[in-house]
C-alpha cells in the first residue's frame, strides 16, 4: 500500500494556540493559527468516560445519558478534525484525497519549536479519533489514511535509515504479569499465539518468548538475543496515577509498566526511563517496540514531558506502537493478530497499523471491544516512511501516472515527479511554471541516497525522463559504489528485462562524427544519438541562443550506430554497458584535448533510459555537465539538469 505524505508541521504558541503549516510541492506552505475550541477542551477531560462500553440494554434516563454520550463522541471526532484541518487545510486535504487516494498524515514539530510545549500538544490529544464532517468512518480506519506522529528530538536529528532485512529476524515476546490482586492475570498463551501464527510459515523469523521475567532476566535476555522487535503484553498505569506499590519505586510521571514479580519480595514496576536503560545496549538492532498495555501511549495532563512511548522513541528507538487508553482483552486479540500478520507479510509499519485499527473498528460493535478503541493505538516513529527493514532496494520513478505501478512492493521507494511536470507522457517533459530543474528536482534525486544502503543493489523501475535517468546514474555512482539495475522494456519482445550496470560488455561498432568549431570557445557539445539524430537539434539550439554560446562551440561530437539510430540500436544490456563506458570516456578525453580549457560540457542525448542512466555513471569525473531534454512535440531540445 503506497501512501503519499500529507505533512503538517506544528509550532505551539501557547497551551491552547498553535501555528500549523502544511507542506505543498509547488507552492508556499499553507499556514493557519488555530485556537483549541472550548468544546474540545471539555470533551477531552471526559474522554475516559466516553470510552466506556455501554450496557447492552438501557431505558429511560440511562438511554438519554447514552444518547448524550454518543453525541459527545461525534462532537469530539468533528472537533478534532476542524482543529487539525482548519479552513484551507480541510479543502487541501479533500483535494489530495480525491487526486492521490492514500495519504500518510504526518504530524511533526517545527524546527524552532519548544519541545516541551510541542510534546504537551502532540501527545495529549487523541488525533486518531478524528472524523471528517459528513463521514461515518474515522479517518484512521478507512485503509486510505495512515496517521503517524513523527517525533525526532534534537538529540536524534537524523532519521534512522532502514536496515537491510536480516537473514534472521529476531522477535522477543514478553508477557508481563503482576501479583497485584487488583489487576487481571494475563493469559500468555492467548496473546502470544497470534504472533506465533503470523510468522509460523516464515523460516527467517526467530521468536523468543519470555513469560513473567524479572528485571534481571529481561536485561540478560535482551543482551543475549539483540531483538529487532520487542513486543510487551502487560498492564500499564496512566500518567500521574499510582497506588501503594508504585510509591515504592522511582517514578518519572509518564506511566508505569507492571513487569512481574520482582527479584525481592515486591513486584517490579518500571518507568519509561528504566526500560530505556535496559534497551540502550541493543538500539543498533532494535527497530520496533510494541507496548500492548493500557495508557502507555498517553501523556500526563499535568506534565509536559510526553509519554512512556514517547520517551522510548526520544531515547533512540526508531518506532513505538502503544495505546493511549484502556485496552480490552478482545481488543488486544484483534489488534495483535492483524498487526503482526501484516508485518510478517512485508507491509510497512504504518500500513500494518492502519489495518490493525480497522480490525478494532470492525469489532467495536461485538464482543467486549470498546466502540472507540480504534483510536487508542498510537504510532510514534522516527522512520521517514514506515519501513522497518528493506527487503529490496527498488526505486520507481513516477512521472505522469496518477498512481505508482501496481507491481511495486512495500519496499519500493517512489520517486513521485508527477506534480512537477505538465503535458502528457515522457514526450512532453515540460516543467510546471515556477519549477526549476536544479533547485527542485536535483535535491529530490539526491535525497534518494538517504534511505538506500550499500549492502543491496538498487533497481530502478518505471518510465524515466532521460535527464532524470542520467542524473540518477551520476548521483549514485558519485556518492557510493552500488550495483545499479534498471528494469528495461525490450523493444522487440516488449518484455521487461533487468539490465545491470556491472557485467560483461559486447563491443559494437559506433560512429563518431567530430566537428571542429571556434578554438576559443569554452563549450564542448556531446550528442548521443541512439534513438534519433541529435546533432541537428543541438546545433539549432546553439544558434538560437547566442547569449549562452558567444563563440559557438569548440568541438561537437555525435555518436550513433553506423546504420542510423532507431529503436533497435541497443538490443541488450551488454551493448548498453559498452556504449555508456565508451562514450563517457570519450567525452572526458575529447573535452580535455583542446588548447582552450573546456568549462562546460553540453550533453544532448536520445536513447533507452537504462543506457543513459549507465552513461550518467561514467560522467562523475566530468565537471559542469549541462543536460538537455528532447521535447518530441516541439522537435526541439530544452535545458534540464546541470550535474554537479
- Helix ranges, 315-421 (H): 329-344, 349-362
Beta strand spans in 571-614 (E): 600-606
According to DSSP, the β-strands at 389-390 and 288-292 are unpaired
Cβ neighbors of 246 (< 8 A, separation 6 or more) are 237, 256, 269
C-alpha–C-alpha distance, residues 410 and 402, integer Å:
18
Quick one: pLDDT at residue 490?
Answer: 67
Q: For residue 613, which of 494, 429, 498, 486 has the smallest C-alpha distance?
A: 486
Cβ neighbors of 194 (< 8 A, separation 6 or more) are 333, 336, 337, 340, 341
C-alpha–C-alpha distance, residues 12 and 459, integer Å:
42
Confidence tier at 26 by pLDDT (50, 70, 90) = low
Quick one: pLDDT at residue 417?
Answer: 81
SS3 at position 201? coil
Q: Pick the range with the lowest mean pLDDT from 306-315, 395-404, 546-555.
A: 395-404
Q: Are 106 and 5 in contact (CB under 8 A)?
A: yes
Quick one: pLDDT at residue 542?
Answer: 92
Q: Are 210 and 175 in contact (CB under 8 A)?
A: yes
Statement: residue 580 has pLDDT above 80: yes
Q: What is the mean pLDDT of the chain?
A: 78
Domain ranges for the chain: 4-149, 163-385, 392-643
The tens digit of pLDDT for each residue in 503-561 reads 888 888 888 999 999 999 999 999 998 876 678 889 999 999 999 899 999 999 999 88
Overall average pLDDT of the 319-325 stretch: 90
Quick one: pLDDT at residue 48?
Answer: 62
Question: What DSSP state is assigned to residue 46?
Answer: T
SS3 at position 11? strand
Rounded alpha-carbon distances, angstroms, from residue 285 to 251, 315, 523, 604: 28, 14, 51, 46
Highest mean pLDDT among 73-82, 118-127, 561-570: 73-82
Statement: residue 421 has pLDDT above 70: yes
Residue 513 backbone zone (phi > 0: left; psi -120 to 50: alpha; other: beta): beta
Overall average pLDDT of the 566-590 stretch: 85
SS3 at position 308? helix
Quick one: pLDDT at residue 265?
Answer: 45
Greater confidence (538 vs 248) lies with: 538
Confidence tier at 304 by pLDDT (50, 70, 90) = very low
Cβ neighbors of 197 (< 8 A, separation 6 or more) are 337
C-alpha–C-alpha distance, residues 332 and 343, integer Å:
16
Confidence tier at 243 by pLDDT (50, 70, 90) = very low
Question: What DSSP state is assigned to residue 4?
Answer: E
The tens digit of pLDDT for each residue in 333-386 reads 889 999 998 888 878 888 899 889 888 877 654 444 566 788 889 899 888 778
C-alpha–C-alpha distance, residues 644 and 622, integer Å:
9
Quick one: pLDDT at residue 242?
Answer: 45
SS3 at position 64? helix
When the candidates are 3.30.70.20, 3.40.50.880, 3.40.50.1460, 3.40.50.2300, the CATH number that belongs to 163-385 is 3.40.50.1460
First and final C-alpha spacing in the chain? 35
C-alpha–C-alpha distance, residues 605 and 587, integer Å:
13
Q: Pick the range with the lowest mean pLDDT from 225-229, 342-346, 596-600.
A: 342-346
SS3 at position 311? helix
For the record, the C-alpha cell of 379 comes out as 504510532
Residue 333 backbone zone (phi > 0: left; psi -120 to 50: alpha; other: beta): alpha
Amino acid at each position: 500500500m503506497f501512501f503519499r505524505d500529507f505533512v503538517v508541521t506544528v509550532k505551539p504558541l501557547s497551551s491552547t494556540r498553535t501555528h500549523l503549516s502544511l507542506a505543498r510541492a509547488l507552492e508556499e506552505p499553507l499556514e493557519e493559527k488555530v485556537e483549541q475550541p472550548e468544546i474540545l477542551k471539555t470533551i477531552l477531560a471526559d474522554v475516559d468516560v466516553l470510552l466506556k462500553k455501554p450496557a447492552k440494554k438501557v431505558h429511560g434516563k440511562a438511554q438519554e445519558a447514552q444518547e448524550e454520550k454518543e453525541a459527545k463522541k461525534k462532537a469530539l471526532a468533528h472537533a478534532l478534525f476542524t482543529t487539525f484541518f482548519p479552513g484551507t487545510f480541510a479543502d487541501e486535504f479533500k483535494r489530495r484525497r480525491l487526486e492521490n487516494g492514500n495519504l500518510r498524515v504526518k504530524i511533526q514539530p517545527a524546527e524552532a519549536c519548544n519541545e516541551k510545549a510541542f510534546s504537551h500538544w502532540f501527545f495529549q490529544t487523541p488525533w486518531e479519533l478524528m472524523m471528517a464532517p459528513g463521514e461515518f468512518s474515522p479517518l484512521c480506519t478507512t485503509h486510505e489514511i495512515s496517521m503517524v506522529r513523527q517525533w525526532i528530538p534534537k538529540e536524534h536529528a537524523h532519521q534512522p535509515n532502514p536496515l537491510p532485512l536480516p537473514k534472521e529476524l529476531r522477535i522477543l515476546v514478553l508477557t508481563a504479569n503482576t501479583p497485584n490482586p487488583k489487576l487481571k492475570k494475563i493469559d500468555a498463551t492467548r496473546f502470544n499465539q497470534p504472533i506465533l501464527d503470523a510468522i509460523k510459515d516464515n523460516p527467517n523469523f526467530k521468536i523468543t518468548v519470555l513469560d513473567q521475567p524479572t528485571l534481571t532476566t529481561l536485561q540478560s535476555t535482551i543482551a543475549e538475543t539483540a531483538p529487532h522487535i520487542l513486543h510487551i503484553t502487560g498492564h500499564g498505569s496512566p500518567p500521574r496515577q499510582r497506588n501503594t506499590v508504585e510509591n515504592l519505586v522511582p517514578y518519572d510521571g509518564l506511566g508505569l509498566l507492571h513487569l512481574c514479580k520482582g527479584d525481592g519480595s515486591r513486584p517490579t514496576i518500571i518507568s519509561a526511563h528504566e526500560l530505556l536503560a535496559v534497551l540502550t545496549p541493543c538500539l543498533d538492532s532494535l527497530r520496533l517496540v510494541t507496548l500492548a498495555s493500557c495508557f502507555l501511549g498517553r501523556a500526563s495532563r499535568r506534565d509536559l514531558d510526553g509519554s512512556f512511548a514517547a520517551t522510548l522513541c526520544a531515547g533512540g528507538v526508531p518506532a513505538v506502537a502503544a495505546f493511549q487508553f484502556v485496552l480490552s482483552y478482545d481488543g488486544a486479540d484483534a489488534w495483535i493478530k492483524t498487526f503482526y500478520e501484516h508485518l510478517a507479510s512485508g507491509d510497512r509499519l504504518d500500513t500494518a497499523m492502519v489495518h490493525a485499527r480497522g480490525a478494532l473498528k470492525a469489532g467495536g460493535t461485538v464482543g467486549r471491544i470498546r466502540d472507540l478503541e480504534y483510536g487508542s493505538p498510537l504510532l510514534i516513529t522516527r522512520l521517514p516512511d514506515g519501513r522497518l527493514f528493506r527487503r529490496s532496494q527498488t526505486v520507481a520513478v513516477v512521472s505522469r501516472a496518477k498512481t505508482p505501478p501496481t507491481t511495486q512492493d512495500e519496499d519500493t521507494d517512489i520517486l513521485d515527479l508527477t506534480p512537477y511536470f505538465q503535458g502528457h507522457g515522457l514526450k512532453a517533459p515540460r516543467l510546471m511554471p515556477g519549477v526549476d530543474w536544479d533547485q527542485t528536482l536535483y535535491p529530490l534525486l539526491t535525497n534518494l541516497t538517504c534511505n538506500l544502503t550499500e549492502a543491496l543493489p538498487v533497481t530502478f523501475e518505471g518510465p524515466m525522463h532521460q535527464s532524470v535517468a542520467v542524473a540518477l546514474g551520476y548521483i549514485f555512482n558519485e556518492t557510493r559504489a552500488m550495483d545499479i539495475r534498471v528494469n528495461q522494456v525490450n523493444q522487440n519482445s516488449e518484455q521487461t528485462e533487468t539490465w545491470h550496470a556491472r557485467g560483461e560488455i559486447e563491443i559494437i561498432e559506433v560512429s563518431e562524427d567530430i566537428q571542429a568549431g571556434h578554438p576559443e570557445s569554452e563549450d564542448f557539445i556531446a550528442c548521443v544519438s541512439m534513438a534519433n539524430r541529435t546533432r541537428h537539434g543541438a546545433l539549432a539550439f546553439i544558434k538560437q541562443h547566442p547569449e549562452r554560446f558567444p563563440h559557438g562551440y569548440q568541438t561537437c561530437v555525435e555518436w550513433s550506430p553506423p546504420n542510423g539510430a532507431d529503436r533497435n540500436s541497443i538490443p541488450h544490456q551488454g551493448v548498453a554497458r559498452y556504449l555508456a563506458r565508451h562514450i563517457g570516456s570519450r567525452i572526458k578525453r575529447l573535452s580535455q584535448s583542446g588548447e582552450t580549457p573546456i568549462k562546460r560540457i553540453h550533453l544532448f542525448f536520445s536513447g533507452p533510459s537504462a543506457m543513459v542512466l549507465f552513461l550518467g555513471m561514467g560522467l562523475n569525473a566530468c565537471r559542469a555537465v549541462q543536460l538537455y531534454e528532447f521535447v518530441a512535440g516541439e522537435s526541439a531540445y530544452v535545458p534540464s539538469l546541470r550535474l554537479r
